[in-house]
């Protein structure tokens, strides 16, 4: 097999590190970009670097933001009595699309997964307990991790952590397909899950 | 119900294949390594979404190809249905029914049940417990989609828990607790179901052995879990959690979970003696046959249709009496696919079957077989 020039080799190597992208997809993306005018590649590179330098976790909820606080935490229109705990920033977007939930969020950064070497210290769990205690305004913590084994176990861990703190901890109902992903659930499924939540 | 036709592309040693089956008996003859078992494997994939050889998709896709496809037309009471399964080297399979992509592979399960008979069945009796668990599981998940879901989640939780047991983390106890619960929930559901099916199995396999031996031997199948399965699922869950707590020190020392259905076994007893230890080779073979026949009965009942019978290289091992017994059995309903190397082994079956010659990934029909006898509606 013919060898690629070093710069192309490097591009493929970087693309293949992305989730869901194997050698073939990497090749397709790279050749597609190289066929287009150079401006397209420059714009992509600039957008990547720009997003990466400007975005960081929100001080309170760990959602992505360019400011100290994300626009949800900063808003005066949100109810400060309920907190929806999700795995990733993309889940926040999914729930916001329902236009139904008016409370605040907390982004964990994943689930517990010993197989992938992810323990409690790798999630924003300490910050969650701290936040709930300090705010004192939360009446309900809704755990909306994915309905997977890992999501369930993480929900259970959160419940244990919050045992001493006097708030109600609920879990999203199983309206979500088992083994499913919050991010991909459609809005009506999410709504049903939200309405049918149960106390842990 | 029967499979009318099969088309393969880049499946094992078949570039492309198109065959039309006899609704009752199909016989594949050919030397070794020509592709006979591969045909049965393809049919089994349509039934269970996986290979009975335990092969990965990567092993099944033809050398130097990227994707394989299995397609068949199935005649059901409601009409014909086209089922297509696509396998890729590094991606999950896709399932299409009548050209429409299906969300879940598992929607295939139970629609076209199948039972494989192969010389390896002897290991069901002689081999380790994992083979007997797999035997139970493949039967169960064809009848009960809920069972498969429990099994998958149990296995996932077990992997996570074992991984945690091997890590030296400060608050191990509180972290283990959150994996104990799913393990107990799914574990209890699995054990309950396995207990029920084992009782059914014992009856069915007992009958099969009586048929095979002319009533000479008494066969018993006993479910052997790691803790007593009593009471309802809720109380079994609690008992499992207690068992985890009791075993904690051992588990941490060994780095594995020691209680739960992943350690289950089936005890096989003939005339009060343990078949694995005290049975003769002949008794063990017969016991394995009885287990497979029981699977056939249970699946027929549970799926409300006669399973496909995939008979791989087994005829040659049977004496004349047994051959006659099976032939009679196969003709009572359901569609059968038999493979072998020597036509002489099929003397009795040949007249009643469509016969195919298999050679180097090509199949040729050499005898059309009798006009199908209508069996039940
Ligand atoms: N992925 C594959 N691609 C191409 N050929 C394969 C593949 N897997 C197995 N084979 C070939 O299939 C043949 C074995 O087919 P099989 O059906 O097991 O034979 P038999 O007729 O003895 O039952 C062997 O020649 C083997 O090399
Ligand atoms: Mg073979
Ligand atoms: Zn925020």
Per-residue confidence band for A168, with pLDDT thresholds at 50, 70 and 90:
very high
Residue A108 contacts residue A125 (beta carbons within 8 Å): yes
Using DSSP's 3-state secondary structure scheme, residue A71 falls into helix
B79 within a domain of the structure (yes/no): yes
* Model confidence at B372: pLDDT above 90: no
Please give the distance, rounded to the nearest whole angstrom, from the Cα atom of residue B59 to the centre of ligand 1. 10
CB contact under 8 A, B167 and A114: yes
Q: How confident is the model at residue A185 (pLDDT cuts 50, 70, 90)?
A: low
Residues of A in contact with B148 (CB under 8 A): none
Chain A interface, best mutation among B167, B178, B184, by max A CB count within 10 A: B178
Average pLDDT, chain B: 93
Q: Return d(Cα B330, Cα B332) in angstroms, integer.
A: 5
Write out residues with Cβ below 6 Å of ligand 1: B 12-13, 30, 32-38, 59-63, 358
CB neighbours of residue B261 within 10 Å: 28
The beta-carbon neighbor of B182 closest among A115, A152, A160 is A152
Give B28-55 pLDDT, tens digit per residue: 999 999 999 999 999 999 999 999 999 9
Domains of chain A: 6-54 (1.10.8.420), 67-171 (3.40.1360.10)
Classified as helix, coil or strand, A75 is coil
Give residue B23's domain range.
1-113+310-377
The per-residue pLDDT for A183 is 62
Comparison of pLDDT for A178 and B136, the residue scoring more: B136
Query: Do the beta carbons of residue A166 and residue A194 sit within 8 Å?
Result: no
SS3 annotation, chain B: CEEEEEEEEEECCEEEEEEECCCCEEEEECCCCCCHHHHHHHHHHHHHCCCCCCCCHHHHECCCCCEEEEEEEEEECCEEEEEEEEEECCCCCEEEECCEECCCHHHHCCCCCEEEECHHHHHHHHCCHHHHHHHHHHHHHHHCHHHHHHHHHHHHHHHHHHHHHCCCCCCHHHHHHHHHHHHHHHHHHHHHHHHHHHHHHHHHHHHHHHHHHCCCCCEEEEEECCCCCCCCHHHHHHHHHHHHHHHHHHHHHHCCCCCCHHHCEEEEEECCEEHHHHCCHHHHHHHHHHHHHHHHHHHHHHHCCCCEEEEECCHHHCCHHHHHHHHHHHCCCCCEEEEECCHHHHHHHHCCCEEEEEECCEEEEEECCCCCCCCCC
- Check residue A195 and give its pLDDT: 76
CB-based burial of residue B132 (10 Å sphere; 0-12 exposed, 13-18 middle, 19+ buried)?
buried
pLDDT confidence of residue A179: 53
End-to-end CA distance of chain A: 58
For B203-232, write each residue's pLDDT tens digit. Answer: 999 999 999 998 888 999 999 999 999 999
**Chain A positions in Cβ-Cβ contact with residue B164 (cut-off 8 Å):** 114
Quick one: which of B263, B343, B240 has its CA closest to B28? B343
* 3-state class (DSSP) for residue A11: helix
Token pair for residue B290?
A: 């009885």
- State the pLDDT at residue A22: 86
**pLDDT given for residue A72 in this prediction:** 97
- Using a CB-CB cut-off of 8 Å, the residues of chain A touching B169 are 119
Task: Report, as an integer, the average pLDDT of A61-90.
Answer: 96
Ligand nearest the Cα of residue B362 is 1
Mean pLDDT of A128-157: 94
- Tokens representing B223 are 């479910």
Q: Is residue B218 part of a domain?
A: no
Residue with tokens 């939780």: B157
Tell me how many degrees the CA angle B111-B113-B114 measures, rounded to the nearest 5: 150
Q: What are phi and psi of B249, to 5 degrees?
A: -65, -45
In a domain, B249, yes or no: no
- For residue A173, pLDDT beyond 80: no
Residue A193 clears pLDDT 80, i.e. is over it: no
- State the nearest Cα–Cα gap between A193 and chain B, in angstroms: 20
B166 occurs within a structural domain: no
- Using CA positions, which residue lies closest to atom 7 of ligand 1? B12
Nearest in space to B21 (alpha carbons), one of B347, B365, B282, B375: B365
CB count in 10 Å sphere of residue B218: 13
Judged by CB atoms closer than 8 Å, whether chains meet at A157 and B163 is answered as no
Interface test with A, best of B154, B174, B179 (most A CBs within 10 A): B179
Q: Is the ipTM of this complex over 0.90?
A: no
Specify if B328 maps to a domain.
yes
For residue B138, pLDDT beyond 90? yes
What pLDDT shows up at residue B377? 43
Q: What is the pLDDT of residue B79?
A: 93
In a domain, B231, yes or no: no
- pLDDT value for A28: 94
Nearest ligand 1 atom to the CA of B312 is 23
Say if residue A184's pLDDT is above 90.
Answer: no
How much is the average pLDDT of B178-187? 94
Quick one: pLDDT band at residue B83, thresholds 50, 70, 90? very high
Element (H, E) at A141: strand A140-143
- Written as six digits, the tokens of B71 are 């397609």
B43, B53 contact by CB (below 8 A): no
Q: Which pLDDT band, with edges at 50, 70 and 90, does B347 fall under?
A: confident
* In the predicted structure, residue A178 carries a pLDDT above the cut 80: no
Determine the pLDDT at residue B122. Answer: 95
Statement: residue B301 has pLDDT above 70: yes
Q: What b/e readout covers A7-41, taking b as 16+ CB neighbours within 10 angstroms?
A: eeeebbeebbeeeeeeeeebbebbeeeeeeeeeee
Predicted pLDDT at B374:
64
pTM exceeding the 0.80 threshold for the entire prediction = yes
Per-residue pLDDT tens digits for A90-113:
999 999 998 889 999 999 999 999
What does residue B312 show for φ and ψ, rounded to 5 degrees? -95, 110
Q: Is B301 inside any structural domain?
A: no
Q: How far is the CA of B336 from the centre of ligand 2 (A)?
A: 16
The 3-state DSSP class for residue A181 equals coil
Three-class SS of residue A164? Answer: coil
Please compute the mean of the pLDDT values over residues A143-161 and round it to a whole number: 93
**pLDDT digit string, tens, across residues B191-204:** 999 999 999 999 99
Average pLDDT over residues B73-95: 94
For the cut 60, the answer to whether the pLDDT of residue B375 exceeds it is no
pLDDT at A182 over 80: no
User: Domain of B30: which CATH number?
Assistant: 3.40.50.300
Q: Is B267 contained in some domain? A: no
Higher pLDDT, B100 or B329: B100
For chain B, the domain total comes to 1
Mutate to test the pocket of ligand 1, among B27, B34, B57 (most ligand atoms within 8 A of CB): B34
Closest ligand to A107 CA?
Answer: 3
A154 contacts in B (CB within 8 Å)? Answer: 178
**What pLDDT was estimated at residue A53?**
96
In angstroms, the CA A120 to CA A125 distance is 6
């Amino acid at each position: 097999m013919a060898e690629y020039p070093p710069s192309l080799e490097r591009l493929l190597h970087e693309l293949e590190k992305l989730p869901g992208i194997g050698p073939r997809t990497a090749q397709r993306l790279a050749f597609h970009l190289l066929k287009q005018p150079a401006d397209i590649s420059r714009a992509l590179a600039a957008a990547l670097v720009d997003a990466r330098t400007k975005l960081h976790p929100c001080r309170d909820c760990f959602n992505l933001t360019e400011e100290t606080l994300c626009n949800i935490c900063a808003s005066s229109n949100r109810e400060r009595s309920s907190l929806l705990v999700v795995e990733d920033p993309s889940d926040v977007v999914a729930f916001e699309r329902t236009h139904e939930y008016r409370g605040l969020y907390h982004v964990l950064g994943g689930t517990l997964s010993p197989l992938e070497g992810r323990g409690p210290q790798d999630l924003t769990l300490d910050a969650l307990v701290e936040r709930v205690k300090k705010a004192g305004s939360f009446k309900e913590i809704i755990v909306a991790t994915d309905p997977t084994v890992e999501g369930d176990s993480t929900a259970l861990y959160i419940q244990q952590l919050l045992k001493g703190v006097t708030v109600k901890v609920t879990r999203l109902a199983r309206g979500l397909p088992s083994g499913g992903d919050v991010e991909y659930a459609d809005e009506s499924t999410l709504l049903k899950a939200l309405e049918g939540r149960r106390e842990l | 119900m029967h499979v009318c036709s099969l088309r393969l592309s880049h499946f094992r040693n078949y570039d492309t294949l198109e065959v039309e089956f006899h609704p009752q008996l199909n016989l594949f003859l050919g030397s070794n390594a020509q592709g006979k078992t591969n045909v049965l494997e393809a049919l089994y994939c349509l039934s269970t979404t996986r290979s009975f050889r335990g092969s990965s998709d990567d092993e099944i896709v033809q050398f130097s190809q990227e994707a394989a496809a299995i397609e068949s037309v199935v005649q059901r009471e409601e009409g014909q249905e086209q089922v297509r399964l696509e396998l890729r080297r590094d991606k999950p399979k896709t399932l299409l029914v009548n050209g429409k992509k299906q969300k879940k592979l598992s929607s295939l399960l139970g629609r076209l049940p199948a039972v494989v008979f192969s010389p390896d069945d002897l290991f069901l009796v002689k081999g380790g417990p994992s083979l007997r668990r797999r035997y139970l599981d493949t039967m169960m998940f064809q009848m009960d989609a809920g069972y498969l879901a429990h099994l998958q989640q149990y296995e996932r939780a077990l992997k996570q828990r074992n991984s945690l047991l091997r890590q030296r983390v400060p608050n191990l106890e509180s972290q283990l607790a959150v994996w104990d619960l799913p393990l107990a929930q799914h574990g209890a559901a699995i054990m309950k179901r396995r207990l029920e099916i084992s009782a059914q199995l014992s009856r069915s396999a007992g009958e099969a052995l009586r048929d095979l031996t002319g009533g000479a031997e008494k066969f018993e199948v006993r479910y052997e879990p790691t803790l007593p399965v009593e009471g309802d699922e809720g109380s079994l869950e609690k008992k499992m959690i207690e068992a985890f707590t009791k075993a904690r020190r051992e588990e941490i020392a060994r780095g594995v979970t020691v209680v739960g259905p992943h350690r289950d076994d089936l005890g096989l007893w003939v005339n009060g003696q343990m078949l694995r230890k005290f049975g003769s080779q002949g008794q063990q073979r017969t016991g394995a046959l009885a287990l497979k026949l029981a699977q056939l009965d249970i699946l027929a009942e549970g799926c409300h249709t006669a399973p496909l019978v995939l008979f791989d290289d087994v005829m040659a091992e049977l004496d004349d009496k047994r051959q006659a017994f099976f032939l009679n059995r196969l003709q009572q309903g359901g569609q059968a696919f038999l493979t072998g190397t020597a036509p002489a082994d099929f003397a009795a079956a040949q007249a009643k079957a469509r016969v195919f010659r298999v050679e180097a990934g090509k199949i040729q029909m050499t005898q059309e077989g009798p006009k199908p006898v209508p069996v039940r509606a």
